[in-house]
Amino acid sequence: MPEPLRAPGPDLLAALEAALGPGGVVPPEPRHLEEPRGRFHGTAAAVLRPADTEAVATAVRLCAAARVGIVPYGGGTGLVCGQVRPEGPPALILSLERLDRIRALDTTDNVIVAEAGVVLADLQSAATAADRLFPLSLAAEGTARIGGNLATNAGGVNVLRYGNARDLALGLEAVLADGSVHHGLRRLRKDNTGYDLRHLLIGSEGTLGVITAASLRLFPRPAETATAWVETADPATALALLQHLQDRLGETLSGFEIMARRGLDFLAEKLPQVARPIADPGPWSVLVEAGAGHGAGLGPRFEAALADAIETGLAGETLIAQNTAQRDAFWRVRESIPEANRLIGAVTSHDLSLPLSQIPAFIARADATLAAIDPGLRANAFGHLGDGNLHYNTFPAAGRNRAEHDHQRARITECLHDLVDSFGGSVSAEHGIGRLKTGDLVRYGDPAKLAAMRAIKAALDPHGILNPGAVLG
């Protein structure tokens, strides 16, 4: 066990101020001490704002010598409390926001090299300006920063075709716990020279190193895009529709988002300005999108595949977007569901993944589990069905408020997570562990993997200064 961490003393703060220069050490703002769902509130002695990688390395080295904890901070949009530290001696928040340069973009290599603090939407825009696609896309993209996206291995709406954040990273630059800098910004598609430190850092949520920059894959921008809003009878039919479309459209299929009617009703109640594509929606709706290169004739193939799905009963009422405005309107509905959920006020939120084949049975069992706890509870299931990733959230009975369900929260979570585990699923598909799910990691994690994780953490961060309390508790 490492010795306990200390609060930063005046000597350390003075040394950091000297090293980081003007604006390099500032008091925390409210955003640095809370997380989006408002469940956790942190403490912090100060926010460090290094301007470049060398300054990050210096800050880490000083903190390591002083045995002071560091909480790396990107855009602050994480949903599992990886970015605030509620317990222990006040840590220092290490904000990457000043590392916001795009260092290189090459359309032959199809690579963009971006620093950790680049906002995801800005990264997408830089790619677009070069007639390329950077496919990572998620609701928080206007605030989230790429370093945090990588540290948490973010998912989002394009995983079906392009993979998670880790699949987009060719190389990393990172500051390790002793302040050394890993220079790994390679632009290679193949590189079998030793252990894959890149994949170890990605998804480690700042507990093994601080990502300062990444070389990332770019893709051709799809010249043709086809989007549809499709009603379907139930999750099993939605799954059959997914398979049908994969058979017919292959890798062009980039999005397959499922939404229960409940989420669309929440939307109508709380965000009526976001018009639902179908006024009286059926029990399940799917947003389907495909993209292809010049001359692929995607539109007719997409329409034919959906026409066949309607004929065979896999698809019900189906709207094909006729223009960009309609496409954007469909996506706005999908992307507004988390906000409508927030306005209703969830009792519990779950970011689950399951083997695709198990999803229909899981939803049925989850609904029954919930009803057994409290028949009034309302579930809303939505998410990236193509990836087996379901956001299954629970809400108070109509007319009741969250507080009335406070006593049930722990039980709901435990029952649903036990159920996911029994189906071979994961209790954190794309959000990570943070500080919210450290107990789940112990409860459901493979013991040999946990032991290996602890050994790796002790080996790479022997003083335990990097994001203390996150992931491994």
* Residues of span 31-60 touching a second copy by CB under 8 A: none
Of the candidate spans 19-27, 90-98, 405-413, 430-438, the one that interacts with a second copy by CB under 8 A turns out to be: 430-438
User: Angle at which helices 261-270 and 324-344 pack, to 10 degrees?
Assistant: 80
Answer for which of 348, 363, 387, 412 binds a second copy (CB under 8 A) is 387
Number of residues lying near a second copy (CB under 8 A): 95
Q: Which of 104, 210, 191, 94 is nearest to 151 (CA)?
A: 210
Residues 145-204 within binding reach of a second copy (CB under 8 A): 152-153, 155, 159, 163-164, 166-167, 176, 180-184, 186-197, 199-200, 202-204
- Interaction between residue 222 and a second copy (CB under 8 A): yes
Closest CB to a second copy among residues 33, 70: 70
**Closest distance of CB 356 from a second copy, Å:** 5
Q: Residue 330 and residue 200: Cα distance in Å, rounded?
A: 36
What are the residue ranges of helices labelled H in 188-253?
Answer: 197-201, 235-249
**Residue 321, Cα to own-chain centre: how many angstroms?**
27
* Sheet with strand 209-217: strands edge to edge: 102-106, 111-115, 209-217, 169-176, 181-184
**Closest distance of CB 146 from a second copy, Å:** 16
Closest CB to a second copy among residues 287, 354: 354
Of the candidate spans 238-246, 261-269, 396-404, 408-416, the one that interacts with a second copy by CB under 8 A turns out to be: 238-246
Closest CB to a second copy among residues 33, 239: 239
Residues 437-456 within binding reach of a second copy (CB under 8 A): 437, 440-441, 444-453, 455-456
Of the candidate spans 107-115, 265-273, 316-324, 391-399, the one that interacts with a second copy by CB under 8 A turns out to be: 107-115
Closest CB to a second copy among residues 144, 377: 144
Q: Give the C-alpha distances (Å, rounded to integers) separating 280 from 273, 288, 331.
A: 16, 19, 18
**Closest distance of CB 259 from a second copy, Å:** 18
**Closest distance of CB 278 from a second copy, Å:** 28
Place of tokens 């059959």: 240
Amino acid identity at 86: P
- Interaction between residue 429 and a second copy (CB under 8 A): yes
Q: Residue 349 and residue 436: Cα distance in Å, rounded?
A: 11
Q: Report residue 456 as tokens.
A: 């790796």
Q: Going residue by residue from 284 to 313, which x/- string records binding to a second copy, judged by CB under 8 A?
A: --------xxxxxx---x--x---------
- Interaction between residue 110 and a second copy (CB under 8 A): yes
Closest CB to a second copy among residues 335, 440: 440
**Closest distance of CB 7 from a second copy, Å:** 28
Closest CB to a second copy among residues 48, 433: 433
**Closest distance of CB 106 from a second copy, Å:** 6
| CA dihedral for 348, 472, 50, 43, sign (positive or negative) | positive
**Closest distance of CB 443 from a second copy, Å:** 11
Q: Residue 172 and residue 199: Cα distance in Å, rounded?
A: 9
Closest CB to a second copy among residues 47, 175: 175
- Interaction between residue 106 and a second copy (CB under 8 A): yes
**Closest distance of CB 205 from a second copy, Å:** 9
SS (H, E, C) 55-69: HHHHHHHHHHHHCEC
What are the residue ranges of helices labelled H in 250-323?
Answer: 261-270, 298-311
Closest CB to a second copy among residues 163, 376: 163
Q: Residue 386 and residue 388: Cα distance in Å, rounded?
A: 6
Residues 249-268 within binding reach of a second copy (CB under 8 A): 249-252
The secondary element (H helix, E strand) that includes residue 8 is none
Residues 335-354 within binding reach of a second copy (CB under 8 A): 353-354
With vertex at residue 179, the alpha carbon angle to CA 213 and CA 430, rounded to the nearest 5 degrees, is 45
**Closest distance of CB 122 from a second copy, Å:** 24
* Sheet with strand 253-260: strands edge to edge: 318-320, 224-232, 284-292, 253-260, 378-384, 389-395, 351-353
Amino acid identity at 35: E
Per residue in 337-369, is it b (16+ CB within 10 Å) or e — as a string? Answer: bbebbbebebbbbbbbbbeeebbbebbebbeeb
Closest CB to a second copy among residues 87, 191: 191
**Closest distance of CB 424 from a second copy, Å:** 6
Residues 395-424 within binding reach of a second copy (CB under 8 A): 424
Closest CB to a second copy among residues 33, 133: 133
